[in-house]
A and B are shown apart, each in its own frame.
Chain A
Amino acid sequence: MAAVAADADAPGPRPWLLMSPALTAVVLLLAVPLCFILVYSFWLRTAAGGEQVGFFLDNWAEVLSDEFYRDILFQTLRIAGLSTVVCILLGYIPAYFIARSTTRHKAALILLLMLPFWISYIIRTMSWINILGVSGALNVFLLWTGIISEPLQILYNEATVILGLVHFLLPFMILNIYVSIDGIDTNLADAARSLGATGWQTFREVTLPLSMPGLAAGSLLCFVLGAGTYITPMILGGPRNAMFANLVFEAIITQLNWPLGSALSLVLLVVLGAVVVVYTRYAGIGQLAKSFK
């Protein structure tokens, strides 16, 4: 039927005209720069610091053969994955609470969730140094109580990187789950309860499966944002906790090696793109859950 309708009033050039500003922006700001990066990745950086234009596979050979890069890539995926899991565990309950609360201040609760975004991400990340650093709040408190006599070295490991990422990503997860739960008809839970299910059984059988679309979308968002970050590991991680985006930063900003940085950033782009494609295909099986209206 949809096909018939489409034939009946053929759209003509009008939709393209309406989309042209957006298309222009996408082409100029995304597609063209990406092509630059692709071209850059085949150039070479000369010993003198200049760039040699041409078609060289040296950068790609280095990136794809060196185990160092592979290990960092896996470490990146692991840290992003763990942060996502922690976000799910910490985020579901507040999301459920906000969605199901009957308070008049629901809008205020959502606003509170957005509040951290008003402060620079870097400042928020740095704040952990004041809390967990050698002379941070926690150490000062523990020294004062006498539980420890020497300040603890809490910062600069993988756990604090994950902590920083969770701090950054949690609002995204909560918002996604919240939207999903908010869209579930409350009569469904009442119906399940009336049919003999306890509160917990109702959650497991009705609310949780119906909130999966939001959970899935939130997880994907958190994973991709987490895997692409370099600020958190730079501020809260140690030398061995670098993530893939740090390598790109290092190559381009520190070493001024644009060709190598381009190749590295394309690797990250392709890997994360593949994750998104595979994930949406796989999560597509669960689309039935979205069928409620």
Chain B
Amino acid sequence: MAAIAEVVGTEPRRHSQSYLMGWLTTADHKRIGIMYLLAATFFFAVGGLEALMIRIQLSSPGNTFVTPALYDQLFTMHGTTMIFLAVMPLFIGFINCIVPLQIGARDVAFPRLNALSLWLFVLGGILLNSSWFLGGAPNAGWFNYAPISLTPFNPGPGIDFYDIGLQLAGIGTLMTGVNFIATIINMRAPGMSLMRMPLFTWTTFITSVLILFAFPPFTVNLFLLMFDRLMGANFFNIAKGGNVLLWQHLFWIFGHPEVYILILPAFGIISEVIATFSRKTLFGYDSMVLATIAIGFLAFTVWVHHMFVDGFGPYVNSLFAITTMAIAVPTGVKIFNWIFTMWGGKIKFTTAMLFATGFIPLFVIGGISGVMLAMAPADFQYNDSYFVVAHLHYVLIGGSLMGVLAGAYYWFPKITGRLLNETLGKWHFWLLMIGFNVTFFPMHFLGLLGMPRRVATYSAAMGQAVAFWNLVATIGAFILAISFLFFFYNLFKTLRSGEQAGPDPWDARALEWAISSPAPVYNFAKTPLVRGRDAWWVEKTEGDGHLRSAEPEADPHEEHAHHGIHMPTGSIYPFLIALGLMIAGYGAIFGLLLLVAIGLVLAFFSIHRMIVDEDPGEIVQPVGGDGE
């Protein structure tokens, strides 16, 4: 963190605060975004190591590298970590760093709530991962089906760590959703009408709506499981009238929108990157926005396709198969729009652009296997086989992660002020493309050959082909891992001695590129006046290359000609709320009521302070004059 902080010295530190307190109390969206990115990168590395251990175990039939019990924990934590603690927070990190800049705002609508979101995520993630050292990690898969997650089948504390860790992180995410909806509705600069918003802002908006409506069912589900495990309730206990399908329904009512929460921001990033490096405005902007809204709506109507084999019968299954296949339509619209954006453009293949173009074929493969899975009768064959594993990795790595990496290479200069090394970046891209496809394409075959997912090993009797493709996949996984060594080395090298980026290294289109890199603490010295779609491009091509100010000219005769900029101040209470809830969580897991009480008192005292305190704000004097 220190290395980054040197680069991003954006927040004027008050002298009474230590360095650490500066970060713990910050409410600056850029700093919060950076902490999201750092924590999520750490969790990503952890999840990646878990994946490597899985692949080593599966490299040959009958392997005993890990025990079946440990294997269960590994695949559970790999999935849970990657989805909740890596990819989603990476997107939230970019959203925090970039969206307020794209709409010409000085901060988000609720800066302190934003800090609360961050700390709930970080501490929830730490709580979840501490399970490795405190009695065993969760082992019932990332979707944690009942009854395998209930006490009789799973007496250890692992599931409780899953439950409470995700509860904390989930509440944090919900707050982020509320925050960014309010930010995008209310904090846009004058002239930034909805249909002028950059696509990344649009997808953030729809993603936030999905978060808002998808996370509460998950919260409820986790509470029900907690009641079952810790308080003897019977929601999922069949002997007392419970219903295990209830978990599946609530989980997937959340879970399907969740996978769109993981892909929509990637759509946004790809749209930004492709438009920038094709030097054209995005093709079919209106249809892009409509497609995003349509995907967001359909997200809530398809969840039973995860449950086709549960036996709801042909009518229910057909209904959900049709809604699922319908999603291919707006998604196809997007794919074609990206291709048409590149068509006839002056394409420049920077690393960011490579990732964005690489995204398209990989995501199409994932989408097509998705439509295959959506056909209910065929799904009975694919269900719980490696075919599903191949599909979900094509959409989550080929889709989401490619989006994250395109965003990383694209916005790294905006966030830190330095350009990532392009040569290392291209090594990263090509090794990743090779490693990824070598790892996951064979999994389609493995699934069709009958290899089930989530089983610690397979028999040599399954045949030569199964053993061969598994070995290939393991080799691919190591190539993939090596590609990330290039990335991490690149990050390290760039932060130490990277090339200075300047405000607009890519000659890009959206507002974030109109201000210095990294952005000053107040973002825009004067609130900009937005005069068109691709707001910054409009100023560069039709204006004088400077942002117009939306603020009235200060009257020089007035006594205080320049009043400075009113900025929110930080607070320690968001951190303390999250800390209190984390302490209470540990208390609940280990049945220590005193610890629960201490944690809740701390949390409620801090909530009380958040309710009654009024942020006085502070006045910051801008350095330059015109927002450059």
Decide if A and B are genuine partners: no
B residues in contact (CB < 8 Å) with A: none
A residues in contact (CB < 8 Å) with B: none
